Structure 1
Amino acid sequence: MSTLKPIVSEIDHIQGNKSASIEIVEFGDYQCPYCGDAYPIVKEIEEAFGDQIQFVFRHFPLQEAHEFAFKAALAAEAAGMQGKFWEMHDALYENQYRLANDLFDELAETLGLDLEKFTADVNSDEARDKVENDFESGVRSGVNGTPSFYVNGTKFDGGATDLYQMLKESAE
């Protein structure tokens, strides 16, 4: 049984109720088609369960397979430094079909970010360290592909649809 290492803390990107009874951590890659498919389902889970869940996203860019995955993760981190991590997270998945180097600045502009700061932050050690630490956490937690979900610290064996089904059944 794989467990989440390290546990969720204030350095994570957390959405939802911090005192929720269900904590879902996704290790994802912005260029992974399976993560792209899981994205609307995760949104649905968040809507359906509201305050009962806390959702955490950790980066797991598969650089060998996806040339823009690492850059996309850096763009999300840079947006996060301006308080817009989740907005960039959503925009990257919603525009996954056109991921390319010029997309990141375009999304930053759309989100109203300070572009000079965004460019500097994308290239910062802070952004790179966060993405690398998330990836390392995935390796230590037994992630072997994306998306990988952990529910209350334990690896969930299945995809987003299975996760939604399990949550619905346990809520009944």
Structure 2
Amino acid sequence: MSLKPAVGSQDHVQGDDSASIEIVEYGDYQCPHCGNAYPIVKEIQETFGDQIRFVFRNFPLSESHEYAFSAALAAEAAALQDKFWEMHDALYENQSRMDDDLFEELAIQIGLDIEQFRKDFESANLEQRIEFDFESGIRSGVNGTPSFYVNGEKFDGGVTDLYQLLKESTE
């Protein structure tokens, strides 16, 4: 399966447009597998540096994870203050204590304007944004989290397999 739509200006991207390897993750901030993948993705980024362009799309599995959608809202609200990646990292790093109180605490920690954060957190636009990511995941064949796409094609395997593949392909 291929990625639909392709990565564009609406996406959260780390890395250079000219990177040779584009990795898109569909993730859920409360999913334990995504939590386990998070440090490995960081390691991939550190190891391969400029060769990697990393994209994160929301795929909250709300039926299984009570706080997944709220966590995605928190990340999107932070994005409106140019702090998406700070919130993304903070959510994964505090995954074990995820509850309704955590989002504001992290917003304060990463230096967001808290009144603006509260307002944005309630915004219907952000809900639509998350639903757009989720629907693009379904169209792209995502059937669980985390799901990875490498250069537009679905990667069938976990993040450890992905790391191994990248190491082999760049040796």
How many residues of Structure 1 are paired with residues of Structure 2 in the alignment? Answer: 171
Cα displacement (A) at 1:110: 0.4
Which whole-Å CA distance do the structure 2 matches of 1:119 and 1:126 have between them? 14
Task: Give, as a single letter, the amino acid of the residue that structure 2 aligns with 1:25.
Answer: V
Cα displacement (A) at 1:18: 1.5
Task: Give, as a single letter, the amino acid of the residue that structure 2 aligns with 1:149.
Answer: F
Structure 2: any 5+ residue segments left out of the alignment? Answer: none
Cα displacement (A) at 1:127: 1.0
Cα displacement (A) at 1:160: 0.6
Q: 1:32 — aligned with what?
A: 31
| Aligned-residue CA RMSD (Å) | 0.4
Q: 1:145 — aligned with what?
A: 144
CA deviation digits over 1:92-150, x for unaligned, max 9?
Answer: 00000000000000000001100110011011122111111000000000000000000
Q: 1:68 — aligned with what?
A: 67
The answer on 1:51 being equivalent to 2:50 is: yes
Which whole-Å CA distance do the structure 2 matches of 1:25 and 1:118 have between them? 26
Task: Give, as a single letter, the amino acid of the residue that structure 2 aligns with 1:169.
Answer: E
Q: 2:160 — aligned with what?
A: 161
TM-score normalised by structure 1 residue count: 0.99
Which whole-Å CA distance do the structure 2 matches of 1:99 and 1:44 have between them? 24
Structure 1: any 5+ residue segments left out of the alignment? Answer: none
Q: 1:22 — aligned with what?
A: 21
Q: 1:79 — aligned with what?
A: 78
| Runs of 4+ off more than 3 Å | none
